[in-house]
Structure 1
Amino acid sequence: MSLRSPLGKVRGLGSAKNGTHHWWMQKVTAVALIPLTIWFVSSVVQMTQASYEVVINWMTSPIVTVLMTLFVATGIYHLKLGLQVVIEDYIHSESAKVVLQMTVSFCCIITATAAIFSILKIAL
């Protein structure tokens, strides 16, 4: 039994540190993904019957390369932010949080690097 009030217990948990920035970044990436996803899905639908050469020629366009890179980078960053919130909220062991956060960050960096490298290799 604790003699601390509920407010005292909450104050004892420490500050949220950069929670507002994290929240804003999650919202900004979500809004940025709306037009990028619409563009990506409509492009894929238009390319369903296209030959390999047509798709490669389409990918070499600078606008397509930039939009595809933005889509991948924004999507993976949004994924990282979302997984970070899930880990912080639902994993209670501090050591497990650290390991999972590092794993998520590493996997996101590797995935983004491989995807962007592939896009640039096709485009250049």
Structure 2
Amino acid sequence: MKNYTKKWIVQRITAFILIPLTFWFVYKSISLISMSYDQVIFFFSSIFNVFLFYIMIIAMLIHGKLGCETIIEDYIYSRDSRNYIKLLINIITYVFIFLITLSTLKIILFA
């Protein structure tokens, strides 16, 4: 399977994952507005809620990374510039994934 086919499949999978998670996130965000601080802490102390939030953020980062790479491959013609920008996108994405993972572990272990 070629690299473009894998990217296409992964982008469709992340989009499919993001559909229900986006509805869940919007619903929970609206309900969090009226909650007190203690209720919000209680909400995020649930491993289920933290897990769904984590999966949503990771899927968003991967989906966005693939979308940006597609745009760069289509519209930036200089190979050096294209590779440099794709490297920056990869670094930013994986740094955010690392930070989100650390934050999620902190919430799970210390909440």
Q: Tell me, what secondary structure is at the counterpart of 2:95? A: helix
Match of 1:27 among 12, 15, 35: 12
Larger proportion of helix = 2
Kept in 2: contact 1:80–1:108 (CA 8 A): yes
What is the percentage of aligned positions where both structures have the same residue? 33
Match of 1:62 among 34, 47, 53: 47
2:29 aligned partner: 44
Question: Runs of at least 4 residues of structure 1 off by over 3 A?
Answer: none
Counterpart code for 2:91 = F
1:119 aligned partner: 104
1:95 aligned partner: 80
1:108 aligned partner: 93
Counterpart code for 2:79 = E
1:53 and 1:119 map into 2 onto residues whose CA distance is 18
Q: Which has the larger radius of gyration?
A: 1
Q: Tell me, what secondary structure is at the counterpart of 2:83? A: helix
1:71 aligns with 2:56: yes
1:83 aligns with 2:71: no
Structure 2 residue runs without a partner (length 5+):
none
1:123 and 1:47 map into 2 onto residues whose CA distance is 19
Counterpart code for 1:18 = N
The CA deviation string for residues 48-67 of structure 1, in whole angstroms up to 9 with x for no partner, is 01122211111111111110
Deviation at 1:119, TM superposition (A): 2.7
Q: Tell me, what secondary structure is at the counterpart of 2:15? A: helix
TM-score (ref. length: structure 1): 0.82
1:92 and 1:45 map into 2 onto residues whose CA distance is 43
